[in-house]
């Protein structure tokens, strides 16, 4: 699970690539709440012109194009290879994954006992660009490479693949994957799928995708990689067996996020991720013909409270802090000028627009300074003048903010003003952005810290390390340093539940326990704001959904610039 | 002159080795590449992180002296190691150096020459309206940060583009995709390059111009009333000739030294211009690498900067020799 620091900038995350959705999908209807789950210019394929070049800015330029390699596991790599490599599953706008029929016609759990078996029925026409059919060998090689059992593979993660016991061919075009333990997030595996020809040998796995994409199997194949201009081009693949790609080519071009507004204004890129940068939004709105798309993104903002600190070790004080912070005020301040409604988030796993979302905050999500004061009185912190004190010690909390991130500073100021009303002094401590985690959050030298977690369609596996009970110094990513066996058990039950509906219920049960622990205060779901040139169809702010690259294209007359 | 230059060069080489070593040691001691690896999403297995850090000679659990030895041996064989992505530093260093040179040459030269001329003009017409206007303009430019200047120029240029309906200005990177495949063939490609150079060059030139204008005005004022200028006038030269041939030339000596040294630093200092205009040069690389804790890159760029500054010093010696008759006389 990655945390995101820099609030106003569009970072190198999955969200750097705005996602679209398949034409005709009823994706625009939000699952819950008022905010849209997806906002793309969905157009049927016959309205999309064949041809054209899409110019797509990237916030950084990767050298390693193997997404499973420790250096390649990045949003930008994912964004590019989605057009050229098999993704067996694609999420819709509410984060529910569905099989992609060009690769697998069905993917189901066919046995639960004695072991979980998933059967993939492959599309018989699916082929790699070197002519080999996509088959069980590719599954087996990827599962072996990412299992972590061979240390020569420099893998990014072994999550999920570690549980794979065996991969075997089934009947015609079938692949059977057997898991050692039940694994609920099996749909996250094999997306992307890399060929056995590069996954079998650790040397090729580590170095075969450096500055090139040797094998592809998608609507686009790899064009030139220009290391001077930092561009990578995908060109339409005539050998693609699905609906042919509408665009002739996609040119991905790396540039600093500060260059993107100017590039978009001058028509040198066709879309731009605005993030939560109100200045960039204003500049994009001034561009003639620009369309601004807004949808709920997968990432969420929160405050982590350090439960190992001398004051916050008492859960009553933590609850009082949560009740004393008006989350709507902070959300309104952070999201000002973005044209996005400030809606608070009541869940640690699902965001508002995601399937399975429920507001589990109970009493703690409200702003209730009277209840907070009662809790503090009960904990023995009595008012002496402006602030409360106990045993000669003033009730004071350190709010650590990364300096140079204006949003965080405001969050600190607002928290100070809000908590002062209930007699808690907040000392804002600005620290260098690069030092925030190394020197303050990881060692536990803070009381409150604001940052964002990056969300995915499979929230539980990555967020487990954030809420798992710390074992001595091994806190994983549980920066709050508190947990319980009950929470661990509830999360493990959810991870082992194969039925998606029951799994979501179990995740929410775990979330209610985490709310009671009062360690992490979710603030709001971050919006995804994307500016596109008018006439760009099937791409925009997709929420959780990933675009079908073959359907992206331009409607209307050809644009003036090449 | 040759012996003088050789002696200077040897002294400079010692300095370069010292500077490069210090740069590596500082970068290796202060930067934390491990944090960058552990922050990956999702967090990689600990064994993988250690193996990758070892492979790149970035492991903070290896003693600094050992890492330095590995790095120095590599550099002696002309190998600066690998970036955090596993790419050789050498190739990227060459590519980025050329990008930076292409970006900076026009702007720096134009800015320097224009600055000198404007500064000289301001000095000659001291306390008159021209002088005041030039002074005001150069202070204004000095006060505006480069990134603001660049964005202002972009906004102005897009007004021009909109008004004329022709894409006269383009500013992302060196070329637009597919420019040389257009109707004008390779000529179109060249035109596209020029079009992309206009704004970044203007940004660099304006920033340079303001500085040089102030320096030149100052040095020029010193020589305006110097004896040798008066002597030249007394010999019968007209004021203009006396100022150009004797005054400007002498006043150029310190400014030329300054130009040589700043051009070494300009190579790295153009990061804002590079970032805002999407050029992938050395300045951008250095800053990004420092943020990522990419020690080998930081050390390599610092080496190059040390070499550039020393070469610039050498160039300034040569220039000084050419401009200042006293230096030549002394060296002989």
pLDDT bracket for residue A562 (50, 70, 90): very low
Burial class (CB in 10 A: 0-12, 13-18, 19+), A440: buried
pLDDT in tens, A8-50: 223 323 333 333 322 233 333 333 446 899 999 899 999 999 9
Q: B93-103 b/e with 16+ CB inside 10 Å = b?
A: bebbbebbebb
| Separation of CA A120 from chain center | 26
For the segment A69-84, the average pLDDT, to the nearest whole number, is: 93
| B331 neighbors B1 (Cβ within 8 angstroms) | yes
Q: Do A562 and B182 touch (CB under 8 A)?
A: yes
Across chain B, mean pLDDT equals: 86
Interface test with A, best of B32, B36, B48, B150 (most A CBs within 10 A): B48
pLDDT of residue A13: 31
Q: Which of A562, A558, A551 is nearest to A90 (CA)?
A: A551
Query: Who contacts A426 (Cβ-Cβ below 8 Å, separation ≥6)?
Result: A396, A397, A399, A412, A415, A416, A419, A420, A448
- B226 pLDDT above the threshold of 50: yes
pLDDT in tens, B28-62: 999 988 888 877 767 788 889 999 999 999 999 99
DSSP string, B271-287: HHHHHHHT---HHHHHH
Mutation for testing the B interface, residue in A60, A63, A67, A284 having most B CBs under 10 Å: A63
In angstroms, the CA A537 to CA A547 distance is 11
Q: What is the ipTM of this complex?
A: 0.87
Q: Give which of A264, A320, A508, A228 is closest to B100, Cα–Cα.
A: A228
Confidence (pLDDT) at A3? 53
pLDDT of residue A322: 97
**What confidence score (pLDDT) does residue A253 get?**
94
And the tokens for B31? 């930067």
Q: How far is A132 from chain B (nearest CA, A)?
A: 29
Counting Cα atoms < 13 Å in the Cβ hemisphere of B68 gives: 13
Rounded-to-integer distance, Cα A214 and Cα B205, Å: 43
Q: How far apart are CA A427 and CA A364, in angstroms?
A: 23
Query: What is the chain B residue with the closest CA to A74?
Result: B41
Domains in chain B (CATH in brackets) are: 96-292 (1.10.3720.10)
Q: Which residues contact A496 (CB under 8 A, 6 or more apart)?
A: A181, A182, A183, A184
Q: Which two tokens stand for residue A87?
A: 């993704």
- Residues A469 and A78: their CA atoms lie apart, in Å, by 31
Candidates A270, A238, A232; CA nearest to A251 is A232
Question: How many interchain CB pairs under 8 A, A with B?
Answer: 146
CA B1 to chain CA mean position, Å: 28
The tokens 């480069």 sit on which residue?
A: B146
Which of chain A's residues have a Cβ under 8 Å away from the Cβ of B182?
562
User: In angstroms, how far apart are the furthest CA atoms of chain B?
Assistant: 84
> Is pLDDT at B186 greater than 90 in this prediction?
no
> In the predicted model, what is the mean pLDDT of residues A502-520?
96
For residue B17 the two structure tokens come to 């080795």
Q: Do B85 and A251 touch (CB under 8 A)?
A: no
B161/A454 touch (CB, cutoff 8 Å), yes or no: no
- Listed by number, the residues of chain A in 436-465 with a beta carbon closer than 8 Å to a beta carbon of chain B are 437-438, 454, 462, 465
Work out the pLDDT band at B252, boundaries 50, 70, 90.
confident
Q: What is the token pair recorded at A12?
A: 């190198």
Which spans in A421-550 are helix H? 435, 460-467, 485-495, 500-517
CA dihedral A111, A115, A116, A121 (to 10 degrees): -60
A467 Cβ neighbours under 8 A, 6+ residues apart: A348, A478, A483, A487, A491, A510, A514, A520
| Cα R_g (chain A), whole angstroms | 24
pTM to 2 decimal places = 0.88
Reduced to 3 states, what is the DSSP secondary structure of residue A165? strand
Q: Which two tokens stand for residue A279?
A: 């200045």
């Amino acid at each position: 699970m990655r945390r995101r620091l820099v609030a106003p900038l569009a970072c190198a995350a999955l969200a750097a690539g705005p996602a679209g959705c398949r034409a005709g999908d009823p994706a625009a209807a939000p699952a819950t709440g008022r905010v849209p789950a997806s906002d793309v210019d969905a157009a049927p394929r016959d309205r999309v012109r064949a041809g054209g070049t899409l110019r797509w800015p990237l916030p950084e330029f990767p050298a390693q194009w193997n997404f499973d390699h420790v250096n390649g596991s990045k949003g930008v790599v994912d964004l590019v290879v989605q057009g050229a490599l098999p993704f067996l599953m694609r999420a819709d706008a509410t984060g529910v994954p569905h099989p992609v029929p060009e690769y697998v016609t069905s993917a189901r759990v066919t046995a639960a006992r004695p072991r979980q078996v998933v059967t993939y029925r492959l599309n018989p026409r699916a082929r790699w660009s070197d002519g080999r059919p996509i088959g069980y060998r590719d599954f087996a090689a990827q599962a072996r490479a990412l299992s972590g059992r061979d240390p020569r593979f420099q893998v990014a993660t072994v999550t999920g693949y570690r549980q794979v016991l065996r991969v075997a061919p089934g009947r015609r075009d079938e692949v059977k994957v057997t898991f050692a333990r039940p694994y609920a997030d099996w749909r996250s595996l094999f997306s992307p799928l890399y060929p056995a020809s590069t996954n079998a040998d650790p040397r090729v796995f580590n170095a075969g995708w450096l500055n090139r994409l040797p094998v592809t199997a998608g609507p686009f194949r790899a064009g030139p990689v220009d290391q001077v201009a930092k561009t990578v081009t995908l060109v339409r693949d005539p050998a693609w067996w699905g609906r042919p790609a509408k665009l002739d080519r996609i040119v991905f071009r790396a540039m600093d996020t500060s260059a993107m507004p100017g590039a978009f204004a001058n028509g040198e890129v066709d879309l731009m991720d605005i993030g939560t940068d109100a200045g960039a939004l204003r500049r994009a709105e001034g561009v003639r013909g620009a369309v601004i798309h807004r949808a709920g993104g997968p990432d969420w903002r929160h405050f982590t409270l350090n439960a190992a600190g001398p004051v916050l070790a008492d859960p009553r004080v933590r609850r009082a802090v949560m009740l004393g912070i008006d989350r709507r005020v902070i959300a309104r301040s952070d999201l000002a000028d973005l044209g996005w409604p400030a809606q608070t988030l009541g869940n640690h796993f699902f965001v508002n627009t995601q399937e399975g979302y429920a507001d589990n905050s109970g009493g703690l999500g409200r702003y209730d300074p009277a209840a907070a004061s009662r809790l503090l009185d009960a904990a023995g912190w009595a008012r002496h003048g402006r602030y409360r004190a106990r045993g000669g010690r003033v009730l004071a909390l350190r709010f650590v903010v990364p300096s140079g991130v204006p949003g965080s500073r405001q969050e600190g100021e607002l928290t100070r003003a809000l908590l002062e009303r209930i007699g808690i002094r907040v000392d804002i401590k600005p620290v260098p952005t690069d030092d925030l985690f190394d020197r303050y959050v990881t060692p536990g030298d803070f009381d409150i810290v604001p940052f964002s977690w990056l969300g995915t369609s499979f929230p539980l596996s990555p967020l487990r390390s954030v809420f798992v009970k710390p074992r001595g110094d091994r806190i994983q990513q549980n920066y709050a340093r508190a947990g319980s066996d009950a929470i661990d058990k509830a999360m493990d039950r959810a991870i082992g539940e194969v039925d998606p509906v029951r799994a979501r219920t179990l995740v929410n049960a775990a979330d209610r326990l985490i709310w009671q622990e009062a360690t992490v205060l979710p603030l709001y779901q971050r919006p995804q704001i994307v500016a596109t040139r008018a006439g760009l169809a099937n791409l925009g702010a997709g929420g959780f959904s990933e675009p079908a690259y073959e359907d992206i294209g331009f409607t209307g007359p050809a644009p003036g610039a090449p | 002159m040759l012996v003088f230059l050789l002696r200077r060069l040897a002294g400079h080489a010692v300095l370069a080795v010292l500077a490069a070593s210090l740069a590596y040691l500082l970068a290796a001691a202060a930067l934390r590449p491990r944090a960058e690896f552990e922050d990956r999403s999702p967090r990689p297995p600990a064994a993988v992180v250690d193996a990758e850090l070892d492979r790149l000679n970035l492991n903070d659990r290896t003693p600094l002296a050992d890492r330095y030895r590995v790095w120095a041996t590599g550099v002696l064989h002309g190998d600066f190691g690998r970036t955090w992505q596993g790419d050789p530093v050498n190739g990227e260093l060459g590519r980025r150096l050329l990008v930076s040179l292409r970006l900076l040459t026009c702007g720096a030269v134009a800015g320097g020459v224009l600055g000198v001329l404007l500064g000289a003009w301001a000095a000659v017409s001291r306390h008159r309206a021209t002088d005041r206007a030039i002074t005001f303009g150069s202070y204004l430019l000095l006060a505006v940060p480069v990134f603001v200047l660049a964005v202002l120029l972009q906004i102005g240029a897009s007004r021009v583009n909109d008004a004329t309906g022709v894409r006269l200005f383009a500013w992302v990177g060196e070329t637009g995709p597919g420019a040389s495949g257009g109707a004008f063939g390779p000529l179109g490609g060249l035109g596209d390059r020029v079009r992309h150079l206009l704004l970044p060059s203007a940004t660099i030139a304006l920033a340079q111009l303001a500085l040089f204008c102030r320096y030149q005005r100052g040095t020029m004022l010193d020589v305006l009333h110097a004896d040798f200028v008066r002597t030249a006038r007394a010999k019968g030269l007209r004021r203009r000739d006396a100022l150009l041939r004797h005054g400007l030339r002498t006043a150029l000596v310190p400014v030329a030294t300054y130009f040589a040294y700043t051009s070494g630093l300009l190579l790295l200092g153009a990061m804002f211009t590079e970032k805002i205009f999407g050029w992938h040069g050395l300045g951008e690389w250095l800053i990004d690498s420092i943020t990522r804790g990419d020690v080998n890159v930081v050390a390599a760029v610092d080496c190059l900067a040390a070499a550039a500054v020393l070469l610039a010093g050498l160039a300034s010696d040569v220039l000084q020799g050419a401009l200042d008759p006293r230096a030549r006389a002394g060296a002989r």
